[in-house]
């Protein structure tokens, strides 16, 4: 995966907060409502603040986050698995939520990382405009680049609100994607162990 995909750069100058709020007012008018009515007066500023939370991942670098590793593994070389990391993301096609769970595992080679950092990496990529497929690869590649482990496995299971609340309207359908690197890709035993544990 290209470096650009792991660290998207915003090429155009970022608009001001005021410009962003104006854009929300345009969308409110597009719905057919009146942005000047009482209930909607503060909506543009709320939406812009919510966007700061939804898309906070653009401010962070996942590989930097993983840089603080512990070399003293006491010979631990079995799978490290963080199971059931809940996340909220937004699809890049409709800007509506993708809500799901990620399972992340790696097979250490000399280095381990604080467990919470794996959850943090999921959040950094989730809090951007995404497709589930790309997010799955990004999580695995960032861990692989930062830790050079013997293998990385990532499985993501999520519900896309662009499929449940619009379009084909299929609530309850979830999408499962996975990306395996190293031993998890080459060794069916390692892959089976991961899949059995998640
Ligand atoms: Zn979508």
pLDDT in tens, 127-159: 999 999 999 999 999 999 999 999 999 999 999
Q: Which of 88, 94, 159, 193 is catalytic?
A: 94
Is-catalytic flag, 91?
Answer: yes
CB 92 within 8 A of CB 129: yes
Is-catalytic flag, 93?
Answer: yes
Q: Which of 21, 90, 91, 141 is catalytic?
A: 91
Ligand 1 centroid to Cα of residue 38, in Å, is: 31
Closest-CA residue to 135 (of 104, 113, 111, 114): 104
Is-catalytic flag, 90?
Answer: no
> Other C-beta atoms within 10 Å of 89: how many?
27
pLDDT in tens, 160-176: 999 888 888 888 899 99
For residue 2, name the pLDDT band (cuts at 50, 70, 90). Answer: low
What is the predicted pLDDT for the residue at 125? Answer: 98
Is-catalytic flag, 103?
Answer: no
Average the pLDDT over 173-187 and give the result: 97
């Amino acid at each position: 995966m290209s470096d650009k995909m792991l660290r998207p750069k915003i090429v155009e100058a970022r608009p001001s907060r005021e410009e962003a709020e104006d854009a929300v007012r345009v969308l409110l008018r597009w719905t057919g409502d009146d942005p000047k009515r009482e209930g909607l007066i503060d909506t543009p500023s709320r939406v812009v603040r919510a966007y700061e939370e939804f898309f906070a991942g653009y401010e962070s670098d996942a590989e930097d986050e993983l840089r603080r590793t512990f070399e003293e593994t006491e010979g631990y070389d079995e799978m490290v698995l963080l199971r059931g990391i809940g996340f909220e993301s937004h699809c890049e096609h409709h800007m509506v939520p993708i809500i799901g769970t990620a399972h992340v595992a790696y097979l250490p080679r000399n280095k381990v990382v604080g467990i919470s950092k794996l959850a943090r990496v999921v959040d950094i990529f989730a809090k951007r405009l995404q497709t589930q497929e790309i997010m799955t690869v990004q999580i695995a590649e960032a861990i692989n680049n930062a830790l050079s482990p013997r293998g990385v496995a990532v499985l993501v299971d999520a519900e896309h609100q662009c499929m449940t609340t619009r379009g084909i309207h299929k609530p309850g359908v979830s999408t499962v994607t996975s990306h395996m690197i190293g031993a998890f890709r080459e060794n069916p035993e390692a892959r089976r162990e991961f899949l059995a544990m998640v």
